[in-house]
Amino acid sequence: MNVVIRPDEADVTRYAYEFLRDRMNRKRYRVLGLPTGSTPLRLYRAVIDGFKRGEVDFADVHTFNLDEYLGLPPDHPQSYRRFMETNLFGQINIKPENINFLSGLPRDIEEECERYERAIRELGGIKLQILGIGRDGHIGFNEPTSSLASRTRDKTLTRETIEDNRRFFERDEEVPRWALTMGVGTIMEAREVLLLATGRAKADAVAAMIEGPVTTMCTASALQMHPRVTVVIDEAAAAKLNHDDYYRWMADNDARMVGYLEERRRRFLTGDSAQPEAAQKQ
Ligand code: GLP
């Protein structure tokens, strides 16, 4: 895992936006997996600003959202579909037919989940999957004990998740107890993963995901088995990491590696045996 620790939420957002912009423009990623929640909200604002500046173009981009509450129609104020319309899709040039969502009111749950998996496959798979993380270490709605090989399916939410999501609902309304969600196995097939976490409340989940064992008790820990994962967190979310020194050291040195290698090659090719400057400083 590439662990990136930034001072605060604003910096996490900047990093995540530049990461996404780079993948869309340089790597031509056209199929994105997107999360909801409060964490990606700032990123979506940055994306809208970037779109207005002409830095990102969604004309031929397809999106797949991770999950949807079961029982909510698409235009329900608290449906994830509506959340995405309000906070992103309504303000960029994505084509409505390129937006993919799990239905909150499917006639047949199994068929709906299979349809989603098929739609992802037909577009050649998700290139960049963006994720948040729940306090119990879940990704999507893959609650603890979810199979790490799970596919898109229905899940019963934990009491903790229901409590966490209650704040988004009107006073009298109940947060749904079930959701449809991409499985951990579905998420693991994305070419690249970018996970964002901010705030002290996420520190335990972040530590378990990065430094704990791979376990169904923290489904985000499955990402340790994925070859291209970048985790961007603020200092508060990094507070419980034991090896944060190494992640910072790694970030410093990664930035110097290309220059160092070029210098070594130049010296080798020109027969200059003196040590390059970067190595002397070590
Ligand atoms: C929900 C979503 C997840 C999200 C999590 C954390 O459970 N299904 O995709 O990562 O909430 O949300 P927040 O970013 O609001 O803390």
Q: Is the dihedral of CA 84, 67, 173, 161 positive or negative?
A: negative
Measured from the CA of 37, which atom of ligand 1 is nearest?
A: 15
Q: What domains are there in the chain, each with its CATH number? A: 2-242 (3.40.50.1360), 251-282 (no CATH)
Q: CA of 271: how far to CAs of 24, 259, 277, in Å?
A: 40, 18, 16
Mean pLDDT in each 10-residue stretch from start to end of the chain (282 residues)?
A: 96 98 96 96 98 98 97 92 97 98 98 98 98 96 98 95 83 81 98 98 98 98 98 98 95 89 95 63 50
Q: Which residues carry out catalysis?
A: 67, 136, 138, 143
Measured from the CA of 133, which atom of ligand 1 is nearest?
A: 10
- pLDDT at position 255 is 84
Residues 112 and 102 sit within 8 Å (Cβ to Cβ): yes
Q: Is 134's C-beta closer than 6 angstroms to any atom of ligand 1?
A: yes
**Nearest CA among 5, 261, 34 for reference residue 127:** 34
Q: Is 19's C-beta closer than 6 angstroms to any atom of ligand 1?
A: no
- pLDDT at position 54 is 98
Coil/strand/helix, residue 234: strand
Q: Name the packing angle between helices 9-25 and 39-52 (round to 10°).
A: 50
Q: Is 33's C-beta closer than 6 angstroms to any atom of ligand 1?
A: no
Dist. CA 134 → ligand 1 center (Å): 5
* Model pTM score: 0.93
- pLDDT at position 169 is 80
Strands 153-156 and 178-181: antiparallel
Give, using CA atoms, the residue closest to atom 9 of ligand 1.
140
